[in-house]
Every structure is written in C-alpha cells, then in structure tokens.
C-alpha cells in the first residue's frame, strides 16, 4: 500500500496528512468571518443553492457574530474544545469566505492568529470567489502560516450544477483549482453524493478527475434535505430522494478505490445542526461512517487508489 494510507482505515486520513504537512496533530476551530455569498446577496440574483440552508451546517461555530479573534479565544477556552492539540487551524466556514475586498480579507484572516497555537487557516469558498486579489492575500498569509482553501464543486456535471442553482460550471472550478495551486496553497474539494439528477457513476468518476488536478484533499458529503432550503419543498412533494446508508457506504468505497492515495480524505459524511435535518435520519456520525467505509474496503480486500 502507498505510505500515506492508514493501515486500519485503508484510506489516506486527514489527521495523518496534517501531521506530515504541518508537523503535528491539529484541531479545527470553526468561525464566522462575517462573509456572505455571491449566489445569495444579489450580485447574481439567483437565490442561492437549492439544497442550502447555511445555518444547517455551521453548528460548530460557537460564537457567530463576534470578532474573529474573540471567537477563536472563546472557543479555545471552551471546555473540551482544545483537545490537547498543539496546533489549531481556524476554519472560515460560513458562506463564501473569500468574497470580500482584499483589505477586508487580509484583516479578517490575520485576526485568526491571535493565539500562539494557531498554525494556519482553512478557507471554505466557491470557484467564482478566487480572483487574483483574493489569491494575493492568501499567498501573503501563506508566507508565514499554513493556508488551505476548500472549494465547493459538489458535482462533476454542469447539468446537475444548473439543476441545484450552483451558479458556476465545472470548467470554472478547474480554473480556480489551478489558480490556487499556482500560489502554492493547499486545495480541498467538497463533493456531494446523491444530488437529484446526478448518478453514482458520475460521482465515482469524479475521483479520477480530482486525482488529476493536484488537489490535496477531498471532503465527501451525502445529499441531505434541510429545512429552509428549496429542496425541502421538493422533498415534501415527493420529487427528490436521499441515499440509503448502505448505498452511501458502498459508493464511498467505490470512490476511494479510484482516488489517488496522495489525496487526503477530509471527511466522509455531511452533518446538519439539530432541528434542521429532515432526511435522511441516520443514527451514525462521522466516526461510524469512517469505520463502516473502512470495513467495506476490508471486505473487498482493497484500499484507496487500488483501481486507479
């Protein structure tokens, strides 16, 4: 097996990647940078992604609305949050976190480094929010600290992206990844299994597509229906479905078998804040999903990249 692959999990887990990349274990601290999204705020006037209710997946942000430095310090001091890790990564998670003037981006990003244990930042954003000025700021931060940019792709199908009103194309995503990598910045990709109109074959084929783009990580989510989203209305009408648990575990294994062992697996399942999730109502979380996907790979006597 390729060296990065965890011998028990049979895939390249994020924790081991970070230990090699930044020299030790790291814990993420999620914060609200006060940003919005061009797909929502009127710049494009498209009303946002049809599956999205941003409040549903930002439950890890403990102190939204406060200045970033105060969010970081309060989270560090919260019981059980530091977990004895010597390195912290501040994750700008809510909305599109490179969608602002460059001077604002620089101020907000640098505010994250208010504690000596903060080793870097992770910026979640969209392909259409990574112009030269934003990249200049990120590259400047990266001269002194670790920087990773996580870009939402969600599907390798322009038809599916249009169906869910993403507001960008696959080609725009490819251009964005190349631009980020040209600055020497780590790149992660978000991908959703089971979006209405997408296919399992397209999801699995995306593993090879991403492997050829020089990305450092991939975060897999399953399609779920959350309250307040346009898809919730379709769910009530019975016009959309969500994946079954076993189906998703099997699809993840298919995907990983075709993913380069060099690419770290940041996450294997989506989550939603209590009270917002409508379907599917799985009782298992991220740890159980990782264990079940690993068990499926063992059952097949295979591993990440085995079919690449």
305-186-46 Cα angle (round to 5): 100
Q: Sketch out the chain's domains with CATH numbers.
A: 14-300 (3.20.20.70)
* Statement: residue 68 has pLDDT above 60: yes
Look at the block and give the residue holding tokens 């931060």: 141
Task: Kindly report, residue by residue over 75-123, the tens digit of the pLDDT.
Answer: 988 876 555 567 899 999 988 999 999 999 999 999 999 999 999 999 9
Task: Kindly report, residue by residue over 16-55, the tens digit of the pLDDT.
Answer: 999 999 988 899 999 999 998 888 776 555 677 878 776 6
- The dihedral sign for the CA sequence 135, 138, 144, 146: negative
For residues 67 and 99, the answer to whether their CB atoms sit within 8 Å is no
Per cent of the chain over pLDDT 90 is 75
How buried is 144 (Cβ within 10 angstroms: 0-12 exposed, 13-18 middle, 19+ buried)? exposed
Cα 108–chain centre separation: 20
Q: Tokens in use for 125?
A: 């954003």
Look at the block and give the residue holding tokens 């030790």: 24
Write down the pLDDT at residue 48.
79
Write down the pLDDT at residue 130.
97
The model's pTM: 0.93
């Amino acid at each position: 097996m390729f060296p990065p692959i965890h011998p028990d999990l049979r895939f390249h887990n994020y924790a081991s990647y970070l230990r090699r990349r930044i020299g030790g274990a790291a814990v993420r601290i999620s914060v609200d940078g006060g940003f919005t999204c061009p797909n929502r705020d009127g710049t494009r006037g498209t009303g946002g992604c049809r599956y999205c209710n941003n409040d549903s997946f930002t439950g890890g942000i403990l102190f939204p609305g406060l200045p970033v430095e105060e969010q970081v310090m309060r989270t560090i001091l919260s019981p059980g949050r530091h977990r004895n890790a010597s390195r912290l990564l501040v994750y700008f998670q809510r909305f599109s976190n490179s969608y602002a003037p460059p001077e604002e981006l620089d101020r907000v990003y640098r505010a994250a480094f208010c504690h000596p244990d903060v080793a870097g930042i992770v910026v979640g954003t969209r392909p259409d929010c990574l112009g030269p000025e934003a990249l200049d700021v990120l590259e400047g931060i990266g001269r002194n600290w670790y920087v990773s940019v996580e870009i939402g792709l969600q599907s390798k199908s322009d038809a599916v992206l249009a169906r869910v009103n993403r507001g960008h194309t696959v080609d725009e995503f490819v251009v964005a990844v190349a631009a980020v990598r040209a600055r020497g910045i780590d790149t992660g990709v978000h991908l959703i299994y089971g979006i209405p109109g997408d296919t399992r074959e397209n999801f699995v084929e995306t593993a090879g597509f991403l492997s050829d783009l020089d990305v450092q990580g991939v975060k897999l989510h399953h399609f779920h229906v959350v309250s307040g989203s346009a898809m919730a209305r379709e769910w009530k009408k019975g016009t959309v479905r969500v994946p079954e648990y076993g189906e998703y575990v099997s699809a993840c294994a298919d995907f990983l078998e075709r993913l380069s062992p060099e690419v770290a697996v940041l996450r294997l399942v989506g989550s939603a804040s209590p009270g917002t999730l409508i379907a599917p109502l799985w009782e298992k979380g991220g740890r159980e999903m990782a264990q079940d996907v690993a068990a499926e790979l063992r059952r097949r006597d295979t591993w990440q990249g085995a079919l690449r």
